[in-house]
């Protein structure tokens, strides 16, 4: 992509594709976490987003070739739910649209966080809630999201049973380490790992990226743009290396970060999220940005941790 390219003409197909099991997705997808609210995500006091604008962003994403949407039942704010917005905007769903959900974390209706679901009954209830909200009879991919280093065998095994029952097509993991991945693979196939990753990621996440590549598993970074900003977004000071490359290429810092992430391996899927139509166009266009070896070397220089 050069400075003369019109972002509006670039589709998600420019980033190439990857297989999530038997499902083909473009490597630039869309994360729905920010859709239900303005500003920082997943806060009990979040200000609801503009409903019409959020629906328009989702429809524009699909128009631009996005066929991989990441969501969760716990992505909500007062009056808004990411899953409900997805259903309102995109149902009836086109055949090639892959919706990836996650289970584990719980939020009460007020928005406060509760204990993670750990029993088969609690996990099934979360799967059924996602099915109900999305208006589907099965979920394409369900990621088990965890915290800490506890064994995932029982929880992943419960999801594997729901997969056998036909409620889930494929399984993934989120926020995990190598031991968790090994545990899960001993129970059922894993099609993706969703972990924090971006420029300046720690060695542990580089190792997870490498392991996933060796095993043919998609590695799906979250906070690839936000970095240390996490749920609040990329509001902090940007590194000079990123800004310099962005200036030279005539693109945004966010596009540079996304392009760098995609360069890290063909199995990497980006899921940038936004409630801004212009940012959506730029994020998708980042899939066509090919960084040079010199630019990659400059961006790979030591940075503060992105996680």
H helices of 178-239, in order, are 178-185, 203-215
Nearest to 300 by CA among 261, 250, 247: 261
Report whether 100 contacts 218 (CB < 8 A): no
Report whether 273 contacts 85 (CB < 8 A): no
Distance, C-alpha 197 to centroid of its chain: 11
Among 75, 93, 197, 223, the one annotated catalytic? 75
Collect all residues with Cβ–Cβ distance below 8 Å to 18 and sequence separation of at least 6: 24, 25, 27, 218, 266, 267, 269
Beta carbons within 10 angstroms of residue 261's beta carbon? 25
Beta carbons within 10 angstroms of residue 150's beta carbon? 12
223 among known catalytic residues: no
Nearest to 241 by CA among 230, 233, 249, 231: 249
Q: Spell 100-139 as b/e; 16+ CB within 10 A means b.
A: bbbbbbbbeeebeeeebbeeeebbbebbebbbebbebeeb
- The counts of H helices and E strands in the chain are 10, 13
Catalytic residues: 75
């Amino acid at each position: 992509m050069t400075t003369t390219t019109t972002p509006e003409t670039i589709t998600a197909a420019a980033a190439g594709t990857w297989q999530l099991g038997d499902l083909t997705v473009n490597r630039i997808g869309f994360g729905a976490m920010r859709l239900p609210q303005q500003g920082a995500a997943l806060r009990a006091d979040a200000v609801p987003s503009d409903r019409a604008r959020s629906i328009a962003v989702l429809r524009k994403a699909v128009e631009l070739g996005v066929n991989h949407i990441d969501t969760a039942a716990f992505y909500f704010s007062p009056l808004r739910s990411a899953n409900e917005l997805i259903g309102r905007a995109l149902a009836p769903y086109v055949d090639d649209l892959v919706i990836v959900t996650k289970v584990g974390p719980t939020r009460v209706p007020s928005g406060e966080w509760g204990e993670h679901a750990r029993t088969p009954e609690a996990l099934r209830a979360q799967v059924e809630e996602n099915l109900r909200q999305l208006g589907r009879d099965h979920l394409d991919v369900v990621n088990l999201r965890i915290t800490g280093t506890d064994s995932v065998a029982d929880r992943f095994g419960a999801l594997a049973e729901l997969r056998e029952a036909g409620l889930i097509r494929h399984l993934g993991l989120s926020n995990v380490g190598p031991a968790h991945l090994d545990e899960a693979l001993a129970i059922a196939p894993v099609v993706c790992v969703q972990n924090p990753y971006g420029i300046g990621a720690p060695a542990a996440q580089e190792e997870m990226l490498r392991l996933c590549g060796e095993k043919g598993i998609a590695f799906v970074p979250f906070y690839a743009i936000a970095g240390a900003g996490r749920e609040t977004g990329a509001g902090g000071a940007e590194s000079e290396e990123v800004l310099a490359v962005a200036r030279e290429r005539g693109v945004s810092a966010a596009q540079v970060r996304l392009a760098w992430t995609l360069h890290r391996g063909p199995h990497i899927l980006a899921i940038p999220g936004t409630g801004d139509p212009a940012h959506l166009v730029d994020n998708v266009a980042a899939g066509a940005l090919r960084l040079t070896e010199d630019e990659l070397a400059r961006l790979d220089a030591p940075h503060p941790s992105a996680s």
